[in-house]
Structure formats: structure tokens, C-alpha cells
Amino acid sequence: MTRTAKSVTIAMTMVSALGLTSACGSGGGDQAKADAKQTLTVWGMGEEGKRLQTVADEFTKKHPNIKVKVTPVGWDVVHQKLVSAAAAGNLPDMAQMGSTLMGEFIDLDTLEPVDTGTFDKADFFPAAWDGNVKDGTAYGVPWYVDTRALYYRTDLAKKAGVKGAPATWKDMRALAGRYHDKAGSTYGLSLQAGGTGAWQNWLPFLYSAGGSVLDKDGKPALDSPESVKALAEYAHYFGEGLTKKNFTPGYDVVKDFGSGKVPMFPSGPWIVQNINDQQPQLKGKWKVAELPADKNSSSFIGGSSLVTFKDSEHKAAAAEFTKFLTGPEKQADWYKASKSLPAVKAAWEQPALKSGDDSLQVFRKSLDHAQEVPPLAKWNEISVKMDDALGKIARGADPAATAGQLQKATEGLVD
């Protein structure tokens, strides 16, 4: 769900040319009541968008007056389509909104604030909710979430003389070295050496060190001692030859995990199924653990929220559909269909999740202390600066100097 800076520049030029301010006013005119006969238009993204109509049809059986029309939109084109639709004044009533898009569309004043009398923050994982909040107002209701954990080969760890999962940064360093030196692995750990999306590997280091993207005043904090420490820890693996020093677009870590070339890597919950499907010979030879800790073990929360647009004339129906999708039972059903992790805490008490395997429970624990990606209007540009900094780190740049450069590069990108 990351996008290039170029695409954002083009899209924002389109907004200026088409006059977004006039298109996104104070909201739709006459509001249809929830029990009125109506059609609710929804944009769903990626694979979720393809599956969502089936769930929408279930909703209509319970609410026969509300027909839901779902339009699937690919993640590769969603940003451009949303901005163009906003500028032209023809947004749908609702949409699935990726976590890294929230800040931009809050800033463009396209989103209806969430009715906190209907949706309670306490029902959701805190970081999932907070990633939708700006200046104390929530603009999206969390739908599904993901976070990062550590995948590692237990058979090769045993060969290397290590028992149990690494719990700390020190443990992870030691295991990576022993994988390389004792178990015959080419590398000890897979980390991305710059390139689009590298920030997703590094942000957990920052959070685990006790750092943050922003300080208490909402300004970048990327030259903090914690940030320097996180960059130095990231740099260690490149400097010691324990991870690849070059970024390869489209790299498939699961293949190298299967061969033992790369026996350890951080990633999200979707990888569990990929390993089971693509590397069946590994059954019983790998596990998932919480990310190793410095001050704490912490990752970030990604995923998608459900948003209602300001100009919708069907806000009551949108609220009903959002309540339906975020009910604990429906959240569990959605997990069974899509393997997307529920954002609603009570859903994890449903049988489909409560009886899940060990890896699922690791991700559940990780969600409790994951942190939000701040909803910043220019998150894309900020993440590109992070990616560039990590590319320098992989090539041997000084962590403190790189942190200072990153700070200066991002200070003008936060209002």
C-alpha cells in the first residue's frame, strides 16, 4: 500500500486543477434514513474488494431496504481513483481505506468523522483506532489489521546450537550469526536494503527502541537517540554480512526460507499460508515469535479501515453496514474467508480464532503493543525519505549522520 512520491504529486496536481474544495463541502444534502429504500455504494480494495460483495449480500438479507453495490479497486490504482473521484465530486458513499492513506484523505477534508456514540474505541486494538485520529477526531473505523512478527527456522536453530526463539535484539544478533556460521545459511536474517517499503522493516526497530516518528508536539523525531540506536541496530546486519546488501524488487523471501539460505525474517500474518502452501517440506521446522525487544517488543499496525465520505447522502446506511462488518461474529467469518486479522478485540474470542494455531496467537499478542502509523497527509513522501535513509545504512552510512539527514528531509513534510 505504499505509493511513489511521483504519483502523489500528479494526483495533487489533479486535485488543484479540478477544484477539490468545491467538490467536498459540508456533506450530502438530504440524508436518507437507515430504514429508507436506497443503494449504498462502496469501494473495496484488492482481494478484499473481490470478496466484499458476497458479505454485502448477506447484509442486504438482514436489511432488505439497503442494496449495497461494491466496486473492487486494485491497490495499484486506488490512490489515483480516490483523488480523481474526490476532485470530480463522485466519491462512493463508503470505502475501504488503507492505513497509509488515512492521513492524506483526512487532510483533504473528504471523510466524515466517526460517530463515537456508535463506535467505541475500547472495542478495537488501540493503535488501529489511533491511526485514524487527527486532532482528537476519528475518521475511520478499523476493519482488519496486520502487524509484524519474526519467522525463524527451528531446525536450523537447533543445528546452530540455539534453543527457543530470540527474545531480545542481542538474542537475534546471536542467532543470525550462528545461522550463518554454524548452520550453513548464506545469511542470518532478511532485512530490506532500501527501496520501496523498507520502512516497514525498520519501523519496528524504532518502536522497540522506545522511539517514535513524531515527538509530543507532532514534529518529526527521526534524529532522536532512539532513532539513531534503531538505525545502528539495522546497520549491524549489513555490516556483518548477515543480510543482503542490495535490494531486489519482487524478492521472494519464502523461497530462500525454504532452502535455508535465509532462515529468519520479519513479516506479516499472510506469510503463514504462503509457507504452508509453497514450502510444505518445512512442516514442523519453523515457528513465529514476537519481534525481539530492545526496550520493548513492538511493531506497527497496518490493515484497513472503513470510511464514510462527507458528501454521502446515505450516512445512516453506511453506519449500519460498518456495524455489520465490525461485529465480532462477522469479523471471525471474514477471517475464515480472507485470513485478515480482526480489528475488533472481541472477535478473537470466537472459535475460529480462539482455537487458532500458535502463529495466530503470536500475532494476537503482538497486536496489543503494536503502534500506529501516524495519519500524516504526506506519509508517502516521509516513507520514501525513510527508504532512502535505509538504503544509505545498508551501504555503510553512519547512523547518527543519517538520522540527522532524515530529520532535515522530513521536517518540511509535517504540518
Q: Residues 272-327: pLDDT tens digits? A: 999 999 999 999 999 999 999 999 999 999 999 999 999 999 999 999 999 999 99
Residue 192 has which C-alpha cell? 530490506
- Taking the chain, what is the end-to-end CA distance rounded to the nearest angstrom? 23
CATH architecture of the domain with range 5-146+302-371: 3-Layer(aba) Sandwich (3.40)
Q: Tell me the domain boundaries of the chain.
A: 5-146+302-371, 149-298+378-411
- Residue 40 has what DSSP assignment? E
- Residue 280 has what DSSP assignment? G
| Contact of 372 with 131, CB cutoff 8 Å | yes
Smallest Cα–Cα separation from 102: which of 128, 120, 72?
A: 128
CA pair distance 210, 226, nearest whole angstrom: 6
Query: Could you count the other beta carbons within 10 Å of the beta carbon of residue 278?
Result: 14
CA pair distance 124, 328, nearest whole angstrom: 11
Superfamily grouping for domain 149-298+378-411: Periplasmic binding protein-like II (3.40.190.10)
Q: Please tell me the predicted confidence (pLDDT) of residue 19.
A: 41
Alpha carbon dihedral 13, 19, 23, 26, in 10-degree steps, equals 100
Between the CA of residue 272 and those of 151, 164, 334, 357, 392, what are the distances in Å? 9, 19, 17, 10, 31
Q: What is the pTM of this model?
A: 0.91
Q: Please tell me the predicted confidence (pLDDT) of residue 4.
A: 35
Q: Please tell me the predicted confidence (pLDDT) of residue 3.
A: 35
Instruction: State the pLDDT confidence band at 11, using cuts at 50, 70 and 90.
Output: very low
